[in-house]
C-alpha cells in the first residue's frame, strides 16, 4: 500500500540489480557495488597515470600540469598527516592517504550522478572497524597488555565496563557520522529532484556544491583526523 507520499515519489534507496545464489543464500549486487566499482576504476586510472608521470619525470625539466597537481595533493596529505601524528606519521602515511582519497572520491561521486557508496552503512562500517583494529593493535603494541588493562581501569577498576563501552562506541560513532552526513545529502537531493521536478533546474547545482563537495570534503577530513587522533592517542607519546 502507498501510505506515505514521500516514499513513493522519492527514490534514494539502495536498489538490487541482480541476485545470485551463494551457499544457499541469495546475495544481491546493488547500486552501491556498481558505484563503488566506478569510483575504484576512476581511482585506478588516475593512479596509473600519476605513477606513469612521476616515474618518467625528468628532475631537470619544468614539471607539467598533471605532475604539479599530483605533487600538490601528496604534499597536502603529507603535511596534514605529519602535523597530526608527528613522529609516527611515516608508518600511517599510506593508509591514511588512501583512506582520504577513497572517501573523498566516494563522497563527491554524487556529482557524477551516482549514489555515493559512502551513503551505505555497509561501506562505512568496515572503515570504522579498520580504525578500531588499528587503535587496538597499536595500544597493545606500544603500551603492552598491562598498559592496556590499566587504561581500561582508568580511575578505578569499577569503571572498566564504561571504558569498554566507550572503546566499542568508537567505530560505531565514527562510521555513523560519515554515513549519516552523506545520506542526509543524498536524501536532500532526492527530495529536491523527486518533489520539485517542475522547477528543479539550475539552482540544485548550488545544493550539490554544498551537500556533495563541501559536506563531503569536511566529512572526509573529519574521518581521517579522528582516525589519526585516536591512533596517535593509542600510540601515546
Partner 1 sequence: MNISGQEFIFGCSAIGAGLAVIAGIGPGVGQGIAAGHAAAAVGRNPGAKSDVTSTMLLGQAVAETTGLYGLLIAMLLLFVKPFT
C-alpha cell at 184: 542526509
Q: Comparing C-alpha atoms, which of 59, 109, 77 is closest to residue 213? A: 109
Cell 559512502 appears where? Answer: 118
Cβ–Cβ under 8 Å, residues 227 and 173: no
Establish if 33 lies at the interface with partner 1 (CB under 8 A). no
**Nearer Cβ to partner 1 (1/199):** 1
Window 103-122: residues binding partner 1 (CB under 8 A): none
Tallying the residues shown for the chain, one arrives at 237
Cβ–Cβ under 8 Å, residues 63 and 56: no
> Least distance from C-beta 14 to partner 1, angstroms?
11
* Interacting residue with partner 1 among 3, 24, 155, 205 (CB under 8 A): 3
Site string for partner 1, 149-188 (x = CB under 8 A): ------------------------x--xx--xx-xx--x-
Residue 65 CB-half CA count within 13 A: 0
Cell 588499528 appears where? Answer: 134
Establish if 207 lies at the interface with partner 1 (CB under 8 A). no
Establish if 232 lies at the interface with partner 1 (CB under 8 A). no
> Least distance from C-beta 225 to partner 1, angstroms?
5
- CB-based burial label for 237 (10 Å; 0-12, 13-18, 19+): exposed
Establish if 82 lies at the interface with partner 1 (CB under 8 A). no
From 1-9, 125-133, 150-158, 205-213, span contacting partner 1 (CB under 8 A): 1-9
Spatial CB neighbours of 66, under 8 Å, sequence gap ≥ 6: 49, 50, 53
**Range list of β-strands (E), 24-182:** 25-30
From 55-63, 145-153, 197-205, 220-228, span contacting partner 1 (CB under 8 A): 220-228
Establish if 73 lies at the interface with partner 1 (CB under 8 A). no
Q: Comparing C-alpha atoms, which of 94, 97, 49, 90 is closest to residue 69? A: 49
**Nearer Cβ to partner 1 (10/130):** 10
Establish if 77 lies at the interface with partner 1 (CB under 8 A). no
Question: What is the contact surface with partner 1 in residues (CB under 8 A)?
Answer: 1, 3-4, 6-7, 13, 173, 176-177, 180-181, 183-184, 187, 218-219, 221-222, 225-226
Amino acid at each position: 500500500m502507498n501510505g506515505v507520499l514521500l516514499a513513493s515519489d522519492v527514490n534514494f534507496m539502495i536498489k538490487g540489480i541482480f541476485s545470485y545464489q551463494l551457499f544457499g543464500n541469495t546475495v544481491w549486487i546493488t547500486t552501491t557495488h556498481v558505484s563503488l566499482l566506478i569510483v575504484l576504476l576512476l581511482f585506478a586510472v588516475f593512479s596509473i597515470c600519476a605513477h606513469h608521470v612521476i616515474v618518467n619525470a625528468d628532475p631537470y625539466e619544468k614539471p607539467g600540469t598533471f605532475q604539479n597537481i599530483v605533487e600538490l595533493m601528496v604534499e597536502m596529505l603529507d603535511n596534514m598527516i605529519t602535523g597530526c601524528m608527528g613522529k609516527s606519521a611515516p608508518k600511517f602515511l599510506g593508509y591514511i592517504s588512501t583512506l582520504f582519497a577513497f572517501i573523498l572520491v566516494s563522497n563527491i561521486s554524487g556529482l557524477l550522478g551516482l549514489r555515493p557508496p559512502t551513503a551505505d552503512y555497509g561501506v562505512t562500517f568496515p572503515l570504522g572497524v579498520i580504525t578500531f583494529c588499528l587503535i587496538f593493535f597499536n595500544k597493545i603494541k606500544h603500551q603492552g597488555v598491562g598498559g592496556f588493562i590499566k587504561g581500561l581501569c582508568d580511575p578505578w577498576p569499577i569503571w572498566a565496563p564504561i571504558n569498554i563501552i566507550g572503546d566499542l562506541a568508537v567505530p560505531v560513532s565514527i562510521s555513523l557520522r560519515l554515513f549519516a552526513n552523506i545520506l542526509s545529502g543524498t536524501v536532500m537531493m532526492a527530495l529536491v529532484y523527486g518533489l520539485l521536478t517542475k522547477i528543479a533546474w539550475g539552482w540544485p547545482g548550488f545544493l550539490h556544491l554544498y551537500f556533495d563537495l563541501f559536506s563531503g570534503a569536511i566529512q572526509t577530513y573529519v574521518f581521517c583526523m579522528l582516525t589519526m587522533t585516536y591512533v596517535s592517542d593509542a600510540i601515546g607519546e
